[in-house]
Amino acid sequence: MLSGDRLAVWGDPIGHSRSPQMHLAAYRTLGLDWSYGRRRVDDTGFRAAVSALDGRWRGLSLTMPLKSVAYATAATRDHAADLTRAVNTYLLTDEGPLGFNTDIGGIVAALAEIGHDRVASARIVGAGATATSALVALGQAGAERAEIVARRPAAAEPLIALGARIGVRVTVAPLDGRHGEVPLTVATLPGDAAVDPDVAARLADTGGTLFDAVYGHWPTTLADAWSRAGQPAHPGLGMLLHQAVRQIRIFRAGDPEAVLPDEEAMVAAMRLAVVGD
């Protein structure tokens, strides 16, 4: 049985993270006397940092660039983590860290909030770990086709194979190419990523609604382009919120799908902590 009461979010950079205020609001609502902080940890120092944790620790939230190394070092992994080879949550046990990917469920729930609970096709901008979670999320939302747009199209090759596994036909195109129209674009580039304004404008013209995984560098270059094109653009706060809900379920009950008592009040408190009234 877990007895630790210390938790934190790790990553690099980490100063922008809103996870501490969100998690602490949830713990207060649930009556849990847990702490939750943040720590800058890069991928080279990750294994040593995890090994140094003692029995006071219950779990970790893990952001970039730690999702791949966390997957590699987890004692066990859930199905979502195995699909994506990415772990963003550790539940710390005597048998080692149990690894989970809550990003997928977070994206699905966030898309539903903006009216895209069902999608037939979509575009993903970027080809990294978050793009992998986005592809699986789109598959769960019913997508049959997904276009991956990347600076280096070769980097998207694993996404083609993943799409075949989950029943989504994936095509790949260069970022500066020409693209057909889609009702939804999921952007997974870092918030400070430079995108040529002309390229961003072309993506916006054919991209439908923009859901950008970024929340700490808002508006992004892509969001600005969507605004100029008169298209709706949404930051990643919804994804942050809903993946955190699933993390808290794991920390409390060991299961990302185990709905908690008073969860509706918990989610309201978390939302207020990050976006206000």
Q: Which of 23, 58, 67, 234 is catalytic?
A: 67
For the stretch 144-147, contacts whose Cβ atoms lie closer than 8 Å and that sit 24 or more positions apart, written own/partner, are 144/120, 144/168, 144/169, 145/120, 145/121, 145/169, 145/170, 145/171, 146/121, 146/122, 146/170, 146/171, 147/121, 147/122, 147/123, 147/171, 147/172, 147/173, 147/179, 147/180, 147/182
67 among known catalytic residues: yes
Tokens coding 19 = 């996870």
Amino acid found at 98: L
Which of 78, 203, 178 has its CA nearest to residue 133? Answer: 78
What does the buried/exposed string (b/e) look like for 12-30 if buried means 16 or more CB atoms within 10 Å of the residue's CB? bebeebbbbebbbbbbebb
Distance CA 125, CA 199 (A): 12
- Provide the annotated active-site residues: 67
